[in-house]
Amino acid sequence: MTLTPIPLGTWPTPLEPAPRLAAALGLDELWIKRDDLTGLGGGGNKVRKLRYLCAQALEAGATRLVTTGAAQSNHARLTAAAAARLGLPCTLVLRGDPPETHRGNLLLDDLTGATIVWAGAAPLDEVAAAQEGYVIPFGGTSPVSARGYQDCARELLAELPDLAAVVVALGSGGTMAGLVAELGPHRVYGVDVGALPSPRATVASLLADMGRKVDPAALLIDDSQIGAGYAALTDSVRSALVLAARTEGLFLDPTYTGRALAGLRANPPDGKVVFLHTGGLPGLFGHPAFP
C-alpha cells in the first residue's frame, strides 16, 4: 500500500550522548534518541505514528478525528494537536469519569479545543464507534502506523550504525514493532508498562501484519517494572526519574519513559545503547503521585 506520510513534526530527531547517565548505569556508551522533540503538541513518539494515521484519515475523506485513551493519554493529546494542525475537529473518548480539575495532558487537550467524552466503565472502542468521525486506533497503533518506527530505526542506523541495543517503553506495541521490523528482535528491548494483557502476542501480530514474521518468544520484553499497574508509580521508577534529571537534565514521565529507564537500570545491555525518549512529560503534571 502506497501512503505518503504527513510531515507533522521535525525530522530527524536529535541523537544525544549521555555520558553521566551512562556512568551511573554502568554502561560503556549511552545515547538518547530525542523523540520527545518531534515538534508537535509537546512532542512524543505518537507523532511518527500520526504521520501515517492522519494520511490514511485524509485519504478516506475524514472531517473529524476520534480516538481513545486513558485520562492522561499522550496519544490523545497528540491526536488533538494533529487535528488542530490539519484544521479538523477532534473527539477524545477517555476512560473513566471526569476529574475535578484538568491537569497535565487534559489541560493541553482543552487548549486544542478537542471534545472530551468520558466513557465511565464502558468499553472505549464501543463508545468511540458511536461518535461521529474517523476513528484512530488506541495508542495510534496499527501495522501502518508502525512504519513510523521503521523510519526511526533507519534514522538510528544512519546516526549510529554499530548500535547494540535500543531500549523503549512498551505501551500499545506499535513503537516496538516498528523498531523490531527494521532492527530485528535481538536489538530491541521493550519495557512493558502494563497497558496490554498480552504484549508479546500483540507485537508479534503487528509484525506479522507488516510482513515480518517473528517468534513471540524471541522478543525481548521486560515486565519487571509494571508494579501495581499502569497508573501506579513504583519506587524504582521514581528513582529513575530523579537519576535522569540529576545526571543529564533529562525529564521523564512516570508511566512510560520512567519505566523504560528503570528497566534499563535493572538489566543493562552491553555495547552502544540507545534509550528512546518517547516523550510524555505532560503526564508527570497530571499523575496523582505528583506534586
Quote the cell numbers at residue 110. 482543552
Give catalytic status of residue 205 as yes or no. no
Structural Rg of the chain based on CA atoms: 18
User: Cα separation of 250 and 54, whole Å?
Assistant: 30
Q: Which of 73, 142, 145, 172 is catalytic?
A: 73
Residue 220: strand, helix, or coil: strand
User: Cα separation of 273 and 275, whole Å?
Assistant: 7
Q: Is the N-terminal amide bond of 288 cis, ω within 30° of 0?
A: no
User: Cα separation of 165 and 183, whole Å?
Assistant: 9
In this structure, the chain runs to a length of 291
Alpha-carbon torsion, ordered 154, 159, 163, 167, to 10 deg: -70
**Residues taking part in catalysis:** 73
